[in-house]
Amino acid sequence: MKRQEREIRQRFSLRKYKIGVLPALIGTTLLVFGTATETLADHKVNYNFIDINNLSATERSLIIEGVPSGKVSSDEEIILVYKRVNGKRVFPKTGSRTNLLVEVGLAGATLGAAVYLRKSKKGRHTFFVMTILGTMVLGSHVIVADDYQSLLEQVTKIVKTDAELSQVLTPSEISNYQYIGYIRRKLPAIQKGTVNVYYRDRAGNSLAPMETAAQDGAVGQPYSTKSLFRQSIEKDGRTYNWVETQGEEKGTLSEGVANVIYVYEEVGTPHRLFRQ
């Protein structure tokens, strides 16, 4: 009797789950495709971490207080601006630091030795040399630090159109620096070029589908249509031979769309040409 009850319960349980199989599969499919859609990338946003002293007066006037915000509609650069808040010198690209206490100690030792040497006549010339060396110890790192433009390595984020900047990246904490605002500007659009190839008779009628030799390539990149050339074309039981080319078969891409047209004549037409 117990075995019979167990089998009944199992059958009931199986039926119960069968009812929910299709909705569950549909829900899972929607969830997977919905998530995949959300991760599609449309635009690039570059983040640079800059000391305010490296900005021009014009650039400083563009600083916006607060965390970067707003919708993304194109490739952009976000300059996160910082200012130094204490006496330590930071070397952003290497991560090394020089402490003012160490600098002062070295300078003090150098100047002390100079004063001691000054007591003797022979040491007076050395005094001036040691004084200059002490001054150089204090000032040398300032010159080196000024050569560095970025406080941290550039960060690049790929985001969807209409993404909210405040949700993409927040300003990083940098030792000895205070975040004060940001500058937002669009990255220059990359110029692109396309080269299409057409096959036509002398009347301009199409003899074969259009081909593309280069699509949305960077301006200045080389292209060639020679691999798409056809000596002859068969259409509607007729044979057409090549007679001339209109446009440049080989060159570099320019902005916009360029066309190369291979022109053909039906076999039997005088002045047929054969390409070497």
Inform me whether the pLDDT recorded for 151 exceeds 70: yes
Write out pLDDT tens, residues 199-231.
999 999 999 999 999 998 888 999 999 999 999
Taking phi over 0 as left and psi of -120 to 50 as alpha, with beta for the rest, 181 belongs to left
* Residue range 21-31: mean pLDDT, rounded: 49
pLDDT at 93: 39
The reported pLDDT for the residue numbered 275 is 54
* Per-residue model confidence (pLDDT) at position 141: 37
Each residue of 57-108: pLDDT tens digit? 999 999 999 999 999 888 889 999 999 997 554 444 333 334 444 454 555 5
Sign of the four-CA dihedral 32, 34, 35, 40: positive
Write the pLDDT tens digit of every residue in 225-258. Answer: 999 999 999 999 999 999 999 999 999 999 899 9
Whole-structure pTM value: 0.40
Percent of the chain residues past pLDDT 70, beyond the cut: 59
